[in-house]
Amino acid sequence: MIFDEKELNGNFSILADIVETGQTKTTLIHSFALSDIVEQDKFKSFLYYLGLLTIKEHYYFNTSKAAALPAN
């Protein structure tokens, strides 16, 4: 959990969506400050770099990737 201005950062809705659907679409950000993970793509990238998401599909026409929860 990250606190932003003494409040939780609000990424619970992103986590709930990922858990419910098992996937999410994002652009992986290669470098960012930990304080910046309040931004959606940076938070999803953070989950990816922790190993909590894997790349399911890469869209070659843009930089987006479909990320999914790792298979059990």
36-48 pLDDT per residue, tens: 888 899 999 999 9
47 within domain boundaries: yes
Q: Write 66-72 long-range contacts (CB < 8 A, 24+).
A: 66/23, 66/24, 66/25, 67/23, 67/24, 67/25, 67/26, 68/22, 68/23, 68/24, 69/18, 69/19, 69/22, 69/23
Give residue 54's domain range.
23-72
Report pLDDT for 12.
Answer: 83
- CA–CA dist 72, 53 (Å, integer): 12
Asked if the structure places residue 14 within a domain, the reply is no
With respect to residue 31, please indicate whether it lies within any of the assigned structural domains.
yes
Q: Does a structural domain hold residue 51?
A: yes
3-state secondary structure (DSSP) of residue 66: strand
Count up the domains in the chain and report the number: 1
Token couple for 30: 């290669």
Report yes or no on 71 lying in a domain: yes
Assigned domain for 8 exists: no
The answer to whether residue 12 is domain-embedded is no
pTM surpassing 0.85?
no
In a domain, 13, yes or no: no
